[in-house]
C-alpha cells in the first residue's frame, strides 16, 4: 500500500515538474518574441528617423514607384505627344483653309475678310514660331566645371554644381537652369532659355482656339443641325427602302462632300473649345506664377518656407520678385517701350536676362525690392 502511494506521489511530482517546465518555456518564448519585436522596431525607427520627416515625405516615398514609371513613360512618349500637337493643329488649319476660308470670302464684307485674314495669319505665325522655338531651344544647363561658379550647392543626383533656381530633371537626367517643369507636349524641359517660348505658345494657342470657337459658333450650330437632319433623312430612307412601292421614292441624300464639310466644322469647334478651356486654365496659372516671380517648383518651395517662417514670427520675401509689372518686363525681355511690339507682339528670338547662373538686378527693373527675409 505504501509503495503504491509512493509511486503515485512520484508520478504526480513528475507531472507537476513537466507542467512548470512547459510554462517556463512558454513564458520564455513569449519574452523572446517581445524582445525581438522591440529590437526590430527600434532598428526600424533608427534607420528611418529624420527630424524633417512629415506627411509629404511619406507620400513622396509611397509614390516613388509611380514617379519612376511616369519619368520613363514620359521620356518615350514625348515624341508621340509632339506629333499629336502638330497633327491636331495641322488638321484645324487645313479645315479652316479648305472649308471655312472659301465661305468667308463669299459671304463676309471686305472689312471682316481683312480682319480674319490679318488676325488669323498673325496668330498662326505666332503659334508656329513659339512652339518650334520651345521644342528646339535648350532650357539651359549648368557647366560641369566648378571654377566659374560661386556660392553654389551640389546636386545629389548628378554630382555637379547646382546654381540658384536650378533643379534636377529626372526625365532628362540633367540639371536645368531655372527649371519650371518637364513638358511632355514639348518633349523638353521648360527652363531659363525657353520659358518665354513655352508661355507665349500657350497664350497664342489659347487665343487662336478662342478665336476659332467664337468665329465658328454660328457655323457649328448650322453644321450640327445639318448632321441631325442627315441622320433623320437616313432613317427615313431606310424605312422607305424597306416598304417601297411603285409610287414611292426615297428622300434625297447628302453628298460625301456635304457630310465631310459639316462634320469638319463640328470637329473644329469641339476641339478648339476643349483646348481653349484646358490650355486657358494652364496659361492663367503660369501667368499668376510669372506675376509673383516664381516657377512651378519654386511655388511649392516658397509656400513651405513661408509657413516655416510664419511659425517663427517672420515674413518671407521672394528674392527673385521685383513687383508684378517688373516681373513681366523681366520675363518678356522688355527693356524699352518699343520692345512690346518687336519682342512681344512679333516673333523674336531674343535671349532672356542673365545667364541663369547668377541673378543680378536686370536693367529694366525700376526699383529694387528687399531680397532678404524681413523679421
Under a CB-based contact definition with an 8 Å cutoff, are residues 262 and 223 in contact? yes
Low-confidence ranges of the chain (pLDDT < 50): 246-247, 370-375
What does the domain layout of the chain look like in residue ranges? Answer: 63-357
* Euclidean distance between CA atoms 291 and 69, whole angstroms: 33
Q: What is the pLDDT of residues 217-239, one digit of tens each?
A: 999 999 888 888 888 877 776 66
pLDDT at 55: 65
Q: What is the distance between the alpha carbons of residues 256 and 220, in angstroms, rounded to a whole number?
A: 18
pLDDT number for residue 27: 65
Instruction: Convert the pLDDT of each residue in 316-352 to its tens digit.
Output: 888 889 989 999 999 999 999 999 999 999 999 999 9
pLDDT at 251: 54
Residues marked active site are found at 183
The CA distance from 183 to 329, in Å, is 24
Helices marked H in the chain — which ranges?
Answer: 2-48, 55-62, 64-95, 101-107, 110-136, 195-215, 217-242, 256-292, 296-311, 324-332, 339
pTM of the model: 0.77
Sign of the C-alpha dihedral computed for residues 339, 342, 343 and 349 taken in this order: negative
CA pair distance 276, 300, nearest whole angstrom: 26
Question: 190 forms bridges with which residues in the sheet?
Answer: 181
Question: How much is the pLDDT for 375?
Answer: 30
**What is the spatial distance between Cα 347 and Cα 271, in angstroms, rounded to a whole number?**
26
Name which of 46, 307, 353 is nearest 178 in CA terms.
Answer: 353
Q: What is the pLDDT of residue 172?
A: 86
pLDDT at 124: 96
Q: Using DSSP, state whether 166 is helix, strand or coil.
A: coil
Q: What is the pLDDT of residue 74?
A: 67
The pairing of strands 181-183 and 167-169 is unpaired
Cell of 310: 510664419
DSSP string, 283-316: HHHHHHHHHHT--HHHHHHHHHHHHHHHHTT-B-
Burial code (b: 16+ CB inside 10 Å, e: under 16) for 350-370 equals eebbeebbebeeeebbeeebe
Amino acid at each position: 500500500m505504501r509503495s503504491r502511494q509512493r509511486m503515485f506521489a512520484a508520478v504526480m511530482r513528475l507531472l507537476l515538474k513537466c507542467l512548470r517546465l512547459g510554462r517556463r518555456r512558454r513564458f520564455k518564448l513569449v519574452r523572446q518574441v517581445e524582445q525581438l519585436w522591440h529590437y526590430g522596431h527600434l532598428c526600424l525607427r533608427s534607420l528611418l528617423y529624420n527630424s524633417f520627416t512629415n506627411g509629404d515625405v511619406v507620400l513622396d516615398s509611397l509614390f516613388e514607384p509611380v514617379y519612376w514609371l511616369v519619368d520613363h513613360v514620359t521620356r518615350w512618349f514625348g515624341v508621340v505627344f509632339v506629333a499629336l500637337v502638330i497633327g491636331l493643329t495641322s488638321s484645324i488649319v487645313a479645315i479652316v483653309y479648305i472649308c471655312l476660308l472659301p465661305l468667308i470670302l463669299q459671304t463676309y464684307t471686305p472689312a471682316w475678310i481683312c480682319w480674319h485674314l490679318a488676325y488669323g495669319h498673325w496668330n498662326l505665325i505666332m503659334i508656329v514660331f513659339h512652339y518650334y522655338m520651345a521644342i528646339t531651344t535648350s532650357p539651359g544647363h549648368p557647366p560641369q566645371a566648378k571654377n566659374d561658379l560661386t556660392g553654389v550647392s551640389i546636386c545629389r543626383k548628378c554630382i555637379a554644381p547646382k546654381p540658384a533656381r536650378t533643379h534636377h530633371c529626372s526625365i532628362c537626367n540633367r540639371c536645368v537652369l531655372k527649371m519650371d517643369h518637364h513638358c511632355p507636349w514639348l518633349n523638353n524641359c521648360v527652363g531659363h532659355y525657353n520659358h518665354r517660348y513655352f508661355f507665349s505658345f500657350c497664350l497664342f494657342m489659347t487665343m487662336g482656339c478662342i478665336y476659332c470657337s467664337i468665329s465658328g459658333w454660328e457655323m457649328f450650330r448650322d453644321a450640327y443641325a445639318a448632321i441631325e437632319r442627315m441622320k433623320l433623312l437616313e432613317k427615313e430612307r431606310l424605312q422607305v427602302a424597306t416598304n417601297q412601292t411603285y409610287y414611292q421614292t426615297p428622300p434625297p441624300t447628302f453628298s460625301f462632300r456635304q457630310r465631310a464639310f459639316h462634320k469638319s466644322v463640328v470637329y473644329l469647334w469641339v476641339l478648339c473649345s476643349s483646348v481653349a478651356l484646358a490650355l486657358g486654365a494652364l496659361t492663367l496659372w503660369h501667368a499668376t506664377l510669372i506675376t509673383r516671380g516664381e516657377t512651378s517648383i519654386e511655388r511649392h518651395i516658397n509656400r513651405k518656407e513661408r509657413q516655416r517662417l510664419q511659425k517663427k514670427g517672420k515674413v518671407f520675401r521672394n528674392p527673385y520678385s521685383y513687383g508684378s509689372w517688373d516681373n513681366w518686363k523681366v520675363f518678356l525681355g522688355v527693356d524699352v517701350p518699343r520692345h512690346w511690339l518687336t519682342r512681344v507682339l512679333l516673333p523674336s528670338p531674343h535671349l532672356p536676362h542673365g545667364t541663369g547662373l547668377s541673378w543680378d538686378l536686370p536693367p529694366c527693373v525700376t526699383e529694387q525690392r528687399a531680397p532678404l527675409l524681413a523679421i
